[in-house]
A = this chain, B = another copy of it.
Amino acid sequence: MTAPRLLDVAAAAGVSRATASRVLAGTQRNVDPELARRVEEAARHLGYRTNHSARALRTGTTGTIGVVVPSLANPYFVQLADALAQQVRAAGGQLVVSDAANDTAVEAEQIETLLGGRVDGLLVVPVSAGASGPAVRAAAQRTPVVLFDRWATGSGTVAVTLDNTAAMRLLLDHLEGLGRHRIALVAADQASSSGAERLAAFTGARGADATTVLLPSFTTDAGRTAGRRIAERHAGIDAVVCGADVLAVGLVSTLQRSAIPVPGRIAVTGFDDTEMLELLDPPITSIRHPLTAMAERALTLLQSPARERSERVERFAPQLVVRSSTDANA
């Protein structure tokens, strides 16, 4: 029942631990093919697995990347984690995902846990643009850290994000092109860089007195609240831009129950292009993040020398995905 060690494999193959290691770790070519065969055979026969802790301790590397996301309850972050996992696995590594429960204290704790040689690098989608900074900065002194999808001030490291301003432009141009000019924004979570940037981009384009409904969090419930508020107080609105898909889902459902047709009377757009959008009736127009390219870039930065991770924001171009929630015939 006790797990076989490298020593057992070496003994079974009649070689030294060093040779067995060279074969099994694939670290050196210079091994007699016959011996290599015997080692591999012995390993298979004994059901040998390299002890991960021992290897990590010896080599100082774990083959594992960690990512801390604000909340897995938001399907967008599940998609994001998946894109990352894909990339990491393709490079022969492993991704471990932590959930910060939308709380900077939990976030700091999760980052702490991942430190201490558990990971070779850390990706963080910071909960807050302000409050997440210190924990990230502290981590960045111990291990390579790259921010993903959101930035945080004082983080001391680079962020790979979406160009939210360009995304907002895409949405507004699209809606205006359909003749919708009385546009409201439903925004949430101003504490996050994405929430703040989307709001800023909207008021920047439409003027500071444009209609905005501000909500605390990126949840469907918040979307419903927004729906109620718009149905009651903003009769003149003919389009609503939501700062996240989950908001749009709650909003559309509430509008429809209030007998306000979408897109008939109000066109609605989401943000993040999560998969669920296609299933709704109507499917919702949204913004797609180039997650694969962003993941690739983030992982490259993680492996680059520290000086290439100086604090700054890299922005990727968004893509508009048009669906029925902004159909023209209305």
Contacts and interface: CB of A to CB of B under 8 A. Distances in A.
Contacts of A208: none
Interface of A: 1, 3, 47, 49-54, 56-57, 62, 72-73, 75, 78, 81-82, 85, 94, 96-97, 99, 112-113, 115-118, 138, 141-142, 220, 249-250, 253, 256-257, 275-276, 279-281
Contact of A276 (B51, B85, B276): B276
A61 to B, nearest CB: 10
Contacts of A97: 96-97
Contact of A117 (B3, B141, B256): B3
Nearest to A275: B73
A52 B116 contact: yes
A49 B114 CA distance: 10
26 contacts: A1-B141, A47-B141, A50-B116, A51-B116, A52-B116, A52-B118, A53-B53, A53-B62, A53-B117, A54-B117, A57-B57, A72-B78, A72-B81, A75-B78, A78-B78, A82-B99, A85-B99, A94-B113, A96-B96, A220-B279, A249-B279, A253-B279, A253-B280, A257-B281, A276-B276, A280-B280
- Please tell me how many copies of the chain the complex holds: 2
Contacts of A73: 82, 275
Contacts of A96: 96-97
B142 A3 contact: yes
Given A1-B141, A220-B279, A49 B115 contact: yes
Contact of A142 (B49, B62, B82, B279): B49
A102 to B, nearest CB: 13
A309 to B, nearest CB: 13
Nearest to A116: B49
